[in-house]
Every structure is written in C-alpha cells, then in structure tokens.
Structure 1
Amino acid sequence: MKILITGGAGFVGSALALSLKKNYPSYEVYALDNLKRRGSELNINRLKAAGVEFVHGDIRSREDFDSIPAVDAVIEASAEPSVLAGLNGSPDYLINTNLVGTINCLNFALKHKAAFVFLSTSRIYPIKPLEKLTYVEEDTRFALAQQQPLPGASEKGIGEYFPLDGARSLYGATKLASELMIHEYNEFYGLKTVINRCGVLTGPWQMGKADQGVMVLWVARHFYEQQLAYIGFNGTGKQTRDMLHVADLYRLVDWQLHHMDQVNGEILNVGGGVEVSTSLVELTKICQEVTGKTIPIKAVTEGRTADIPLYITDNSKVTALTGWKPEISIRQIVEEVHEWLQENAEQLSYVLK
C-alpha cells in the first residue's frame, strides 16, 4: 500500500506515519508538510530514519502534490488547529489551509482513486447548543447529567446526531465545511471516505500550546516549573475534556485503511469518552504525582472566546461499527509525556518552556 499523510510532520501526522511504517515495513508512506508549526521540524529526522519519505510542501498549493506518486490512500491530518485562529486577525490562512487545502487533497485522492481518511474535530459542534446541556458540578469536575434537552447528548457524551445549527469558531466552521465537501465527493464521484471527529488528541511529541495541546502544555509547565492558570468558569479548574492518545487513534485509522468498505461514507465521533477524561484540577493532581513538582496556578474568572465547560465524546457508534475503543488512561498519557520530556528536555525547551 502507498499512503500520503498530509500534515505528516505534525504531531498526529508523524505519529500515524511512524506507526504505519513500523507495522507495515513494505508500505510506502509519504509525509507532506509545510513545517509552519513550531517544533514540526524536529520530526523530519524521525520520519527519515523510519523510512518515511518527507515532502516539503503545502496543501494550499496544488503544484506541491505533483511530486507525489499515485497512492492507495490519503490521510488528511493537516490543519491550522487552533480554536482561536482567525479571531484576532485575518482568517485567510485558516480558510485556505482547512478548507481549500482539503479540497486540493480530495482532488489528489480522486485523481488516483485513493481512499480518503479525514481527521475532523469535535469543534464542529456549535457552542450555544453545548452550553444548553445539563451539567452537574461535582467536587473536581463538570459532568453531563443523564437527561439532556438536545438529541445526540447523554451522560455518555456527545454523539453524531447533536444539532449543528449555530456558531462554533472559525476553526470548527472550516472543518465542518470540509466535511460537507467530502460528502459530495463521496456521493457524486464515488470516492471512498471516512470522517473521524476527534476529541482532544495528545501524547509525546505534541508541541502543546494554550489553545491547542492542553495536556502536553500542562505536563510541560509542571516539568519546567512554570506558571499555569484556570481560566474561566469561576477559576475552579473544573472544565472537563476527554483525551485520546494518538496511539489509540492510530489503531482506529489502521483498521479503517484495511476495512474501507465497512466505514465508507461514515462520520464517527472519536475520543477518550468518559473513561479517559479529566478536568484541569484533576489533571493538576496527576501531574504533581508524576512529576513530583507543584507549580503556581492562578484562578482567572473571566472566560475565553469559544471556550466551553465540558466536552466528552460518545464513542458508541464507532465502537459498534469497528470494535474500537480507547485503551490508554489519563495517568498513562501523563507518564508517557513526562518520560518524553525527560529524555528530550534540552531539545524541546525552546518550544515548550
């Protein structure tokens, strides 16, 4: 099999590329990336050492696909991933990457009749409907109540039939617009596609920032003994997310690549679920235990644009369809990230410190 991974030097793309090459040494894997995100350049040597062919290019440019041979599958893992992208300035890069770039990827896949695996986001679900959900405030987190006022929501999390009307962030809008185009290519061109609406992805080699990659950011700030803040929701740190280790995502993408007919045309919510979820205050406690360090954490009552108190993925559909479910716990994620930081502290300090 020949596979193109866009965003292939990014956190998710490189992890998928390395795992595919490790498990299928005979596969030809191409990683296309513009290296815009700080720290992505650190993955080039890792990719080359594993036998992945790195292609320096940009999905916004159709010409940059010309050097890539025919492939059997495209994994679209490229994105401007920040929820805050475009809100404080021009949205051009965001739109051209997350929407126009996806269309270029679709056309490349169509040219070669390649299967198309799209990594979307839980951020396609609009903010105001999410805010209408019934929450329970527990000692250390917010949790979803059993009875919910909207379809697609339950104590298990958010399912695929949650309402889509409303604003969601420019980032979420570009990903949803890409999903709509993927539907059209699937229906009218016969392109085999699957859409994975991912929750918070994490793991070693993620260059975490405040607006994207919060798990790694939290562990790194403890490791380097720097300050953090509980922002919004009265500064309690009870805002809660499910987390998905990139190795768990890989197991699903691997299955999809080899069972494309069984997932063709599907939209799947993919995340850690209730079992692999944490609030910030709970995450702080685990970080203290794993790193052995306690750092100052400010309480900021004022919230941030596009932030929500709680998001948990309901994996019921993807589990029923594929048998997949996440296996790596919050504590194991923190331990792996901490070990990675210890092994690469000097190399990573300019990005994460």
Structure 2
Amino acid sequence: MKILITGGAGFVGSSLAIALKTNYPSYEIYCLDNLKRKGSELNVARISQLGIHYVHGDIRNKEDFDSLPAVDTVIEASAEPSVLAGLDGTPDYLINTNLFGTVNCLNYALKHRAGFIFLSTSRVYPIKTIETLNFTEAETRFELTDDQPVKGVSSKGIAEDFPLDGARSLYGTTKLASELIIQEYNEFYGLKTVINRCGVITGPWQMGKVDQGVMVLWIAKHYWQQQLGYFGYGGTGKQTRDMLHVADLYRLIDWQLHNLEKVNGEILNAGGGNESSTSLQELTKICQEVTGKTIPIKQVAETRTADIRLYITDNSKVTRLTGWAPQIGVRQIVEDIAEWLDQNHVTLEPILK
C-alpha cells in the first residue's frame, strides 16, 4: 500500500506515519509538510530513519502535489490547528491552509482515485450552543446532564447530530467548510471518504501551546516548574475536556485505512469520551503526582475568547460502526508525556519551556 500523509511532520501526522511503518514495513509512506510549526523539524529525522519519505511542500500549493507518486490513500492531517488563528489578524493563512489546501488534497486524491481520510475537529460545533448546555458543577469538574435544550447531546457527550448553526471560531469554520466539500466529492465524484471529528488529541511529540496542545503544555509547565493559570469560569479550573491519546487515534485510522468501504461517506466523532476526560483541576493533581512537582497556578475569573466550559465526545456511532473505542486513560497519557519529556528534555527545552 502507498499512503500520503499531509502534515506528515506534525504531531499527529508523524505519529500516524511512524506507527503505520512500524506495523506495516512494506507500506510506502510519504509525508508532506511545510515545517511551519515549531518543533516539527525534529520529526523529519524520526520519520526518515524508518524509511518514510519526507517531502518538503505546502498543501496550499497545488504544484507541490505534482512531484508526488500515485497513492492508494490520503490521510489529510495538515492544518493550522489553533482555535485562535485569524482572530487577532488576517485569516488568510488559516483559510488557505485549512480550506483551499484541503481542496488541493482532494483533487490529488481524485486524480489517483485514492481513498481520503480526513481529520476534522470537535470545534465544528458552535461555541454559543455548547455554552448554553445544561451541566452540574461537581467538586472538581463540570459535568453534562441528560436533560438538554438541543438534540445530539447527553451525559455521554456530544454526538454527530448536534446542531451546527452559529459561530464556532474561524478554525472550526474552515474545517466544517472542508467537510462540506469532502461530502460533495464523495457524492458526485465517487471519492471514498471518511471524516473524523477529533476531540483533544495528545501524546508524546506534541509541541503544546496555550491555544493548541494544552495537555503537553500543562505537563511541561510542571516539569520545568513554571507558572500556569486557571482562566475563566470563575478561575476554579473546573472546565473539562476528553483527551485522546494519539496511539488510540492510530488504531482508528488503521482500521479505516483497511476498511474504508465500511465507513465510506460517514462523519464520525472520535475522542476520549467520559472515560478519558479531565478538568484542569484534576489534571493539575495528576501532574503533581506524576512529576512530583507543585507549581503556582493563578486564578483569573474572566473567560477568554473561544473558550468553552465543557466538551465530551460521544463515541457511540464510531464504536457501533467500527468497534473502536479509546483504551488509554488520562493518567497513562500524563505518564507517557512525562517520560518523553524526561528522555528528550535537552532537545525539547528550547521549544516547550
């Protein structure tokens, strides 16, 4: 099998490439990446030493696809992933990458009649609607209830039929727009596709920042004993997310790669679910236990732009169709990332500290 992974030197793309090459040594894998994200240059050596082909290119440039060979499947993992992207300036790079770049990927896939696996995001769901959901305030976190004002949400989390009307961030909008175009290619060009609306993906080799990669950021700040803050919602740190280890995501992508016809045309939520969820307050406690370090955490009551109180993925549909469910819990995720920091602290310190 020949596979192209766009964003192939990024956190998710390189993780998928390495796992695929390790499990299927005979597969020919190409990773296309423009290396814009700080730290992605470290992954070029990691993938190249396994015999994965790194191609320096940009999905915004359709000419960069011309030198690529025909492949059987495209895994579209490239993105400007920040939920704040475009909010403090021009959105051009965001739109050109996340929307027009996806169109270039689709046209390349169509040219070679390749399957198309798209990594979308839970951020396609509107912020204001999520913020009006019914919840309870427990001792250390916020929790969804079963009694809700809209469809597609319960105590299990948010499902694929959650309403899409409303604003969601420019980042979420570009991903949703890409989803709509993918559905057109599936219906009218016969391209085999699947869309995965991923929750918070994390794990070793993610270069975490405030606006994207909060799990790694939280652990790194503990590791190097720097200050953090609980921002918004009263400054209590009770805002809650589910966390998906990239190794769990790989198991889903692996299944889809080899069974694409069984989920052709589907849109699937994929996240950690309630079983792998944490509030910031709970995450702080686990980080203290795993790293043995306690750091100052300031409390800021004011809620920031595009923040949400509570998001949990309802994985019912993806589990029903594929049998997949996440297996790695929050504590193991923290332990994996802490071990990675320990083993690579010299290299990572200039990036993450």
TM-score (norm. length: structure 1): 1.00
One-letter code of the match for 2:300?
A: V
User: The residue matched to 2:206 in structure 1 has which SS?
Assistant: coil
1:306 — aligned with what? 306
Shift of 1:132: 1.3
Aligned partner of 1:18 in structure 2 is: 18
What's the CA shift for 1:67? Answer: 1.3
- How far did 1:102 drift? 0.2
Whether 1:334 and 2:328 are equivalent positions in the alignment is no
Matched, 1:171 2:171: yes
The answer for the alignment partner of 1:38 in structure 2 is 38
Q: Deviations over 1:33-83 (max 9, x none)?
A: 000000000001000011110000000000111111000000000000000
Structure-2 residue corresponding to 1:245: 245
The amino acid of 2:214's aligned partner reads: V
Q: Secondary structure at the match of 1:267?
A: strand
Aligned equivalents of 1:332, 1:338: Cα separation in 2 = 10
* 1:97-246 matches, cutoff 5 A: 97-246=97-246
For the residues of structure 1 that align with 2:217 and 2:166, how far apart are their CA atoms? 30
Give the Cα separation in 2 of the matches to 1:17 and 1:263.
21
- 1:250-329 to structure 2, matched below 5 A, reads 250-329=250-329
Are residues 1:58 and 2:62 paired?
A: no
**Offset of residue 194 of structure 1:** 0.0
Quote the Cα distance in structure 2 between the aligned partners of 1:53 and 1:154: 44
Amino acid at match of 2:202: T
Offset from partner CA, 1:262-293 (integer Å, 9 cap, x none): 00000000000000000000000000000000
The list of structure 1 runs, each at least 4 consecutive aligned residues, that deviate by more than 2 angstroms after superposition, is: none
Shift of 1:303: 1.1
1:50 is paired with a residue of what secondary structure? Answer: coil
Give the Cα–Cα distance (whole angstroms) in 2 for the partners of residues 44 and 131 of structure 1: 40
Q: Which amino acid aligns with 1:220?
A: A
Deviation at 1:163, TM superposition (A): 0.1
Name the SS of the counterpart of 2:49 in structure 1.
Answer: helix
Query: For 1:89, what is the secondary structure of its paired residue?
Result: coil
In structure 2, what is the equivalent of residue 89 of structure 1? 89
Per-residue deviation at 1:148?
1.1
Q: 1:284-325 CA deviation, whole Å, 9 max, x = no partner?
A: 000000000000000011111011100000000000000000
- Provide structure 1 residue ranges, at least 5 long, that are not aligned to the other structure: none
Q: Deviations over 1:132-169 (max 9, x none)?
A: 11010000000001211110000000000000000000
1:319-338 Cα distance to aligned partner (Å, 9 max, x none): 00000000001000000000
Aligned-partner residue type, residue 65 of structure 2:
F
Aligned-residue offset at 1:131 = 1.1
Amino acid corresponding to residue 193 of structure 1 in structure 2: T
